[in-house]
Amino acid sequence: MSDTPDPGTMSAREVIDQLCDDFEKGWLSGNPAPLTDVVQAAPESMRSDLFRELLAVEREYRTKDGRPVTVTEARRRFAVFGPWTEPIIQELLAVTQQYDDHPAAVSLGPLSDALAPRSEELPATVGGYHVVRRLGRGGMGVVYLADDPLGNRQVAIKMMHPQHAADPTARARFIREARSAMAVEHDHVVAVYQVGVESETPFLVMPALKGESLEERLSREPLPPIGMMLKIGREVALGLSAAHEKGLVHRDVKPANTWLEGDPSSSEPAVQVRRAKVLDFGLARAIDGTDGLSLSGSVVGTPAYMAPEQAGGRAVDERADLFSLGAILYRMAAGRPAFAGPTITAVLTAIATHQPPPPIELNPAVPPAFSALVMQLLEKEPGSRPESAHAVADALAAIETARPTPVKSPRRRAVVFGLSAVVLLLGFGVWAATRPANAPLEKQKAADPIPPVTPPVVAAVGPVTYKGSVDLLVHRKDTDGSDLAFPLSDVRAWPLKPGDSVKVTAEVEPAAFVYLFWIDETGATYPIYPWAPLKWGTRPASEQKASRLEVKDPNGNWFKIGGKDAGMETLQMVARSEPLMATEDEIKGWFRDLRPLAFAGEKAKAWFEGFDLVKHDPLRAPEYGGEIGQDNSPLGLQVTLGQRIGKQSDFNRAVSFSRLGKKESK
């Protein structure tokens, strides 16, 4: 499966929609691609329209995360494209940001449509409902908050984009699937009130519910209490069972499509989550259907939660939803996704080949029976999974019943929210209510202690609450002269040679104080961050936590690979919960007298976690021409650094990679 659609077989609109869909999926799976890279990889004739749509998507996610994209930031980031971006930046950030930040934009109730500022594109009514404001948009459509003048309530309206609605096949499919979803009436499925057509554009109407998505909950609290975890899993399984009994497969079960009705600001778990509901059957298909494609011709679903057979584009049945449910349960139990990677292709490869460790190995508080059930749900072969969603619900109920009665813990301080009620936002793959999985998590609560099964959960899980990566993006020219960028895990990045342009990327979740270093083939070490890149003596007096970094040279350009002789170079990331107290001389001492790393093949590379080699991850498997265990190999370097830095590091990642010399590059 290619990350980039083929312009030769698709219309310009289809290419843009496909790229937007992939970009949104990246945000939802926690690995958003840099917007500039996506635009640069597209044909020049499409870049303006593509840039407008991608910036709108990024703006939605960043605003919800509390990190809105400002005009100043956008001008700096996108200056590489030239002056044509300025009108788009003004349109999306100067005008619509003012609209979204308006106090009336968050008011609720029958009169809110009279108070909210209106965009020229905002319809006054849809199907007799008075539109209040836009909640989100995506490649396939838009979602509005609206008032029901007859029912004295608010609803969410999903409406197709006109260009898709003009396709008779697309219109028929939307209406058919919406009517199928209407047939599922269950306490744990979000209802569809109405399906209709307005100005030849289909729409459906759903409730606007109070609460939050499971994605939001996990972004704030990666390890929810065990009891809550079991309740959510059981109720989602019951909702899926109801859909399966009607002959529907959801095909996009994920935390963002799991709604938690309740009051997130309460200190009581039972009030925080009164009921879990499955929502958005926009990708649902009949169990006997053979079409595994979305409207734009791509495999549907969200990569990190997609069953192997679905990722491979094969026909799916209800057991694909069970795999997705298993991926949700795994994330709740382990505090991290079962399958991750730097690109969508990498995630899909992991789903097909990677076997994650059982949740109980990462979180000893998890009941053994629950851990075993999750691993059964994640079986690669559909026939090895549980027989039905109802069987899963029964198993979770039995585990819940078998647990000791929890002792009520002291009331915890409630999380303060800006709104007393959070409105459910329904979109075509874009959830304005969804916090990206790689968002900074500076305030993280520990799971409720549940004696006697749970010794202190934080102490038991400890560093596993951190996850992240460090990588190098390598600039390449496509055959048509367009600019591309590839991580080290992509074969198209190789071989590296003098003169290549690169930039350093790093991610850590939750946010931490990050320190990046570049170790060249001679063992010489240069600071990358938070110092001015490559310049010792420039460490800032005040440091800030970071969750995602893209580092270029001191002039803001991509680094240029240098070096006369071939060898191995290393990117080293150290992350801490508190600022590093060591002096600069002490830090330099960590890297003093390091052994040179000899050249070991033009594509040699190795990844490290905890100063140890990553061996069994297919996305980061070592490729090395020599004996990787030798003292002068990358592993020997990590052993040395572990002895020197280990006690100073709460979390660390590294990658060593080969680089050709001038002689080999000729």
E strands, 336-481, are 467-477
Check the CA dihedral 42-46-51-57 and report its sign.
Answer: negative
Q: How far apart are CA 347 and CA 236, in angstroms?
A: 24
Task: Quote the CA–CA distance of 460 and 510 in Å, as a whole number.
Answer: 17
Taking the C-alpha atoms of residue 359 and residue 374, their distance in angstroms, rounded to an integer, is 8
**Does residue 406 have a cis peptide bond before it, meaning omega lies within 30 degrees of 0?**
no
Distance CA 450, CA 477 (A): 56
Please answer whether residues 23 and 16 qualify as being in contact, where contact means their C-beta atoms are separated by less than 8 angstroms.
Answer: no
- Cα–Cα distance measured from residue 277 to residue 171, given in angstroms and rounded to the nearest whole number: 27
Measure the CA–CA gap between 453 and 461, rounded to whole angstroms: 14
- Can you tell me the distance from the alpha carbon of 72 to that of 575, in angstroms, rounded to the nearest whole number? 29
Q: Two tokens at 403?
A: 């647990």
| Residue indicated by tokens 């449910």 | 325
Q: How far is residue 646 from each of residues 335, 524, 643, measured CA to CA in Å? A: 23, 20, 6
Known catalytic residue: 321?
A: no
For residue 499, give the nearest of 523, 524, 475 by alpha carbon: 475
Residue 108, Ramachandran bin (φ over 0: left; ψ between -120 and 50: alpha; else beta) = beta
Distance of alpha carbon 508 from alpha carbon 609, whole angstroms: 13
Q: How far apart are CA 212 and CA 217, in angstroms?
A: 7
Q: How far apart are CA 348 and CA 305, in angstroms?
A: 10
Measured CA to CA, the distance from residue 53 to residue 137 in angstroms comes to 9
Single out the catalytic residue among 252, 280, 471, 520. Answer: 252
Do you find a cis peptide bond into 510, omega within 30 degrees of 0? yes
Assess contact for 186 and 238: CB atoms under 8 A. Answer: yes
Element (H, E) at 515: strand 501-519
- Angle at which helix 389-402 crosses helix 368-377, to 10 degrees, equals 170
User: Residue 515: how many CB atoms within 10 A of its CB?
Assistant: 26
Cα separation, 352 vs 338, whole angstroms: 12
Q: For 161, how many CA atoms within 13 A lie in the half-sphere containing its CB?
A: 16
Output the six-digit token pair for 630.
């030798």
Tokens of 626: 């020599």
Asked, as a colleague might, if the bond just before 308 is cis with ω within 30 of 0, I would say no
End-to-end Cα spacing for the chain: 33
The neighbouring-strand residues paired with 148 are 153
Q: How far is CA 204 from CA 219, 249, 385, 487, 521, in A?
A: 29, 19, 33, 41, 60
**Cβ-contact 285, 249 below 8 angstroms:** yes
d(CA 241, CA 392): 9
**Bridge partners of 476?**
484
Letter string b/e over residues 11-32, b meaning 16 or more CB atoms within 10 A of that residue's CB: eeebbbbbbbbbbbbbbbbbbb
Q: Give the residue numbers marked as catalytic.
A: 252
